[in-house]
Structure formats: C-alpha cells, structure tokens
Amino acid sequence: MTDKPVLTLRDLSIEFPTPQGVVQAVKSLNLTIHKGRRVGFIGESGSGKTTTALAVMKMLAEPGRVAGGTIDLSGTDVLALDEEKMRMTRLSRIAYIPQGAMNSLNPVMRVEPQLWDGVIAHEGHLDRGELKRRSDAALTSVGLPIHSGRLYPHELSGGMKQRVCIALGIILNPELIIADEPTSALDVVTQRQVMQTLKAIQAQIGSGLILIGHDMGLMAQSVDELAVLKDGELVEHGTVSQIISAPKHPYTQDLISSVPLVGGDSFLNAERNAPAPQRDSPEPLLRFDAVSKNYGAVTALHPMSFTLQGDTPQIISVVGQSGSGKSTMGSIMLGFNPPSSGRVLFEGQDVQHMTAAQSLEFRKNVQAVFQDPYSCFNPFYRVSHALRYPYKRFGLAQSDAQTNQAMAEACAAVGLDPDLVLPRYPHQLSGGQRQRLIVARALMLSPKLLIADEPVSMVDASLRASILSNIYDLKDKYGISILYITHDLATAYHVSDYVMVLFKGHVVEAGPPRQVIGDPQHPYTRLLIDSIPWPDMDRSWGDGRQDWDPAVEEAQAAKVGAMYRGDVSGFELARS
C-alpha cells in the first residue's frame, strides 16, 4: 500500500438553504483516502455521507452548495474544474456505484452498449471490436459471463444488475470508486457475493474505495478504515479493527451495539409479565390447510400446512431470501392474495369465503405492519387519520374523547409523544416514527394476530432494536400472536418462539430458534447464517475466496430434505 492520497477533503462544508434556514449538511470534514484503501462512511440517514460523496463528484442536488473547504483528487482541485473538465473526470477518475442498481440501468438498452457509452464519452469513437473487448473484460472482472452483455437489464437478477453497475464503474480504471449502499436492496447471500466482487476488483485496479452504508457488520467485513458521521460531523475515524474493538465516541458504541447478534446479548426486556388475556374460541387461531400459491408456471409456495393455536401469544418467524415465498405467505394470510389451492382458516372460518360482517371481524382481529413506513400513510391526511379511522370503523370508539385517549395511550406505548406526533402530516415524521405509529395503530385495535412483514428493514439500524422490542413487549401485554416475516436471522433468533426457514417455497428447517439459528443443520440455513456480515473482525465472511458461488451452494441445499428440529406447544407444522 502506497502513501499517495487519492482524495483529500480539507475543511469541507456543505449547506442546503431551506425555508427554515440554512442546513449544515456537512461541517468542516477532514479526511484523506490513500491509494488502494477502502474507507467506509457510516452513519444514519441524514448524517451527510451521501452528500459528501456527491460533492466529490460535483453532483450535489440543488440548492445544495459547497460552503467552504477543498476537495483534492490526487492533485486536482475538483471544485475549480469547469463543467466540461468535471464531465471528463467523472467515471474516468471517480466512479460512482449507485444504491438502486434496479433503476440505474436503461431498461431499453442491452447491457453492452451501456458499458460502451462510458468509454465513448471519454475516449471518442473506438471500433466495435475494441469496445467489445473492453466490455467483455469488465464483465469478466465482475464475475459475469460474457453473454450477459447481450441481455437486457430485466433479464438479470438484482445481484447481477448490481455487478453490471460495478463493471460500468470500473471500465475506465478510476482512481476512486464511490459505492453508495451498493447492497442495501439485496439479501444477505447476494450481498456477500456483490461485496466480494467489489473488493476483488478494487484490489485488482488498486483504486481507493469509499463505501457508504449504515450496517456496521457489512463495514467490518469490507473496509480498512471507518469514518463515522453524525449530523454532518466526522465523530470518529480510524482503522476498522481499532474502531470495532475500542470505539471512543458514544455514537459509534451505539452503532456497534445496535447490531443484533445470533447468540449475543438479547436486546429485549427480559422480564415477562402479565398473563395473556384468554381467547373465547376453541378453534385454532390460524390454520393453513395445504396452502400453495402459483404465479403462472412459478410456484411461490409449495403446499404447506400448519396450525397456530394462539392460546398463549407466540412469535413465529418466517425467514428466507427474497423470492423464498415468505411475503406471499403473509399476503395469503391477510386474505389479499387468494391461495392457488388449500384453505386458510381463521378461527375455523375460511378467509376467502366470508360474509361482510365476518370479514370486518377478521380485519379487526388480524392486523399487519408492512415493510415500508413511508407509503403507509395517506399523504393527504394528518397521521391521526390512520389511527382514528380503523378504530371507529371497527366500532371500538365510544366517543371522540375516548378515541383520542386510546390514540394517546397507543402512542405512549410505543414511546411516542402523542401531542407532538398525532397532529402532523406523514412527511413531517421520520421513518422510525412512522413505523412506530403503524405498530401503535395495530395495537390500538388489539388484534389476535399481527403479521409483521419485514417491519424494520427500512428503518435505521439504531431504531430496529427498539421497534422490535416494542412489538415484543406488547405481545404479552395484549396477548397478540405474531407472525414475523424477515430476512434477518439475528433478530428472528431473539424474538421468536419458533422459526421456519423458507427456501424456494419449501420449509427447509423449522424448530425453536436456539436449534435452527443457533446450531443450523440444513445447508441452506448455514448458507444464510454464513452470509450475515458480523461486526467482528475475527469472524471472517468475505475471506477473499473467489470461487464462493451461492448458486452452487443453493443447488446443493436443494437436494437436502427438510429438517425438523423440535416442537413448541401451540404451533404445529405438518411434516412433508
């Protein structure tokens, strides 16, 4: 590793003038990135990490501006470059790998010409053979087969698209690569593969790398140095091992401790209190009777049967990669999506065949928390509408005063100040606040079953634990059985009473979490667990192996039958 700095930020300040005054997005940031080093920018949303990266590219969104300081790209003063020189600098010297590869590729162009565009823009027209040679080399270097260049973006999987974006970024051998949360939309297995690709290619061309992210585990596995940002300030900077083993700033400590670990200390309240309210129906709460779902020729869910008694509140976790059928299962339970075969019975009543009155009763008793807290509120109404409307609709409201009190209590139960939050519009609240409100809404209706479909995957890491422990605490207090759908095995390990691992619509391993996640036996479960990036330097993840290919491992896992690792009372999964 040489000592020549690729990028030097000196006293960099960036501000955004807004109606409420000037917002300091980045406050006198000093940072040096050396050649061949990987530097992670970590912090919550709004901490200025993406803004800094965009400033380096001179691509700040209006009305943002660099208020002071210098950006030095191995000898070039970036801020002094005019638009044309900057255009030539982008891609050839600084490459940017965006967050959503899904949306970054032109859907009507094949992959190859999109790679050529960058080359032509910087080097003028080359002959076709030379272009082809360059794009083939770039695709090969990111581990994609050459024929994938002839495909359209929609024919590639998410991980492949992200790797095409990497190929696009490195085709001109830039001095600096900026990767803005390159894996946030991918599941853990694909994430591991993409990060491995990125690390390998960066080492090969010897450029500097800025990795922007909020996942401490991913950082620990991917970078050499870590810069912790909070509210636009660099609060801590050092090598990864130094920061992880001895974080100095309290915020860094929070970031590290908020990552839930399998087998680590639980983030939940240990004391269990209050026996659950009794149910009045002898029928099991929820029964899947050989339910399956096909989308055309694709089977999303193979026939599955289970019975959830629901006499004692339990949390059943369904874990799996995207495409494993777990969300399909959730929407079938909610009655949004009719099963292709089989029946879903709620207290003995088929969910798909209900009278209007039964349907209203079913809606009251089965509530959901969805993944995306940003879309769950109608932007036209104040957030209190989302709480008040169902409460009145289900006939729970006796008077306006009583409704208001119930709303205030529900807010308080999830740790929100009702006076501060309820009269606002959705866009005035943060994602975490909105997700808590959705939890509060569900609790206010005191359902018997709550379906939580990735309830925390879109909120900042530090909030995940607190929202999950909100849900967990309220389970016993209100006697709610919960179906927790997630891809995050670490949280499932802590909160659930029973875990089902789904792989391509089949249950591959099921049982209590201590067995299934703590001591996985099925190769697929092991693949999932091995792919979790741990914030622990000794527990290596991307060990530099180039031959690690999830497709091979998955093919092997598909050959192994389902494993049942023990039972819990109140939940019965039919063995196939």
The residues binding another protein (CB under 8 A) are 17, 19, 63, 334, 336, 359-360, 363-364, 367-368, 370, 372, 374-381, 386, 389-390, 393-394, 438, 441
User: Quick one: 70 or 457, whose CB is closer to another protein?
Assistant: 457
Q: How far is the CB of 373 from another protein (least distance, A)?
A: 8
- Contact yes or no for 312/337 (Cβ under 8 A): no
User: Quick one: 357 or 401, whose CB is closer to another protein?
Assistant: 357
User: Quick one: 4 or 392, whose CB is closer to another protein?
Assistant: 392
Q: How far is the CB of 387 from another protein (least distance, A)?
A: 10
Q: How far is the CB of 62 from another protein (least distance, A)?
A: 9
Q: How many Å apart are CA 6 and CA 206, to the nearest integer?
A: 11
Q: How many Å apart are CA 337 and CA 292, to the nearest integer?
A: 11
User: Quick one: 171 or 407, whose CB is closer to another protein?
Assistant: 407
User: Quick one: 336 or 564, whose CB is closer to another protein?
Assistant: 336
Burial of 196 (0-12, 13-18, 19+ CB in 10 A): buried
User: Please, what is the Cα angle at 414 between 409 and 418, to 5 degrees?
Assistant: 50
Q: How far is the CB of 481 from another protein (least distance, A)?
A: 17
330 Cβ contact partners less than 8 Å away, ≥ 6 residues apart: 318, 368, 451, 453, 483, 485
User: Quick one: 319 or 368, whose CB is closer to another protein?
Assistant: 368
Tokens of 509: 């391993």
User: Quick one: 62 or 543, whose CB is closer to another protein?
Assistant: 62
User: Quick one: 286 or 573, whose CB is closer to another protein?
Assistant: 286
Whether a cis peptide bond, with omega within 30° of 0, leads into 63 is yes
User: Quick one: 103 or 375, whose CB is closer to another protein?
Assistant: 375
Tokens of 213: 């992210």
Q: How many Å apart are CA 423 and CA 472, to the nearest integer?
A: 27
Q: How far is the CB of 394 from another protein (least distance, A)?
A: 6
- Contact yes or no for 515/333 (Cβ under 8 A): no
Q: How far is the CB of 424 from another protein (least distance, A)?
A: 15
Q: How far is the CB of 362 from another protein (least distance, A)?
A: 9
Q: How far is the CB of 380 from another protein (least distance, A)?
A: 4
Tokens of 132: 């082809």
Report helix, strand or coil for 118.
Answer: helix
Q: How far is the CB of 389 from another protein (least distance, A)?
A: 6
DSSP 8-state assignment for residue 107: T
Q: From the CB of residue 278, how many other CB atoms can be counted at a distance below 10 Å? A: 7
Q: How far is the CB of 474 from another protein (least distance, A)?
A: 18
Burial of 138 (0-12, 13-18, 19+ CB in 10 A): buried
User: Quick one: 377 or 503, whose CB is closer to another protein?
Assistant: 377
DSSP 8-state assignment for residue 421: H
Task: Specify the amino acid at residue 19.
Answer: P
Where in 124-282 does DSSP place strands (E)? 176-180, 208-213, 225-230, 233-239
Q: How many Å apart are CA 7 and CA 32, to the nearest integer?
A: 6
Q: How far is the CB of 463 from another protein (least distance, A)?
A: 18
Q: How far is the CB of 364 from another protein (least distance, A)?
A: 7
User: Quick one: 147 or 353, whose CB is closer to another protein?
Assistant: 353
CA atoms within 13 A on the CB side of 455: 33
**Any alpha helices (H) in 479-512, and if so which ranges?**
489-495
Q: How many Å apart are CA 363 and CA 375, to the nearest integer?
A: 20
Tokens of 124: 């003028």
User: Quick one: 362 or 472, whose CB is closer to another protein?
Assistant: 362
543 Cβ contact partners less than 8 Å away, ≥ 6 residues apart: none
User: Quick one: 274 or 356, whose CB is closer to another protein?
Assistant: 356
Crossing angle of the two packed helices 461-478 and 431-444, in degrees rounded to 10: 10
Q: How far is the CB of 506 from another protein (least distance, A)?
A: 27
Q: How far is the CB of 570 from another protein (least distance, A)?
A: 25
**Any alpha helices (H) in 76-208, and if so which ranges?**
83-89, 101-104, 111-123, 128-141, 158-170, 188-205
User: Quick one: 271 or 380, whose CB is closer to another protein?
Assistant: 380
- Contact yes or no for 235/243 (Cβ under 8 A): no
- Contact yes or no for 206/187 (Cβ under 8 A): no
**Any alpha helices (H) in 384-488, and if so which ranges?**
384-393, 400-413, 418-421, 431-444, 461-478
Q: How far is the CB of 452 from another protein (least distance, A)?
A: 13
User: Quick one: 190 or 349, whose CB is closer to another protein?
Assistant: 349
- φ and ψ at residue 203, rounded to 5 degrees: -65, -35
CA distance to 293, 301, 323, 436, 504, per residue, from 298 (Å): 9, 9, 11, 35, 10
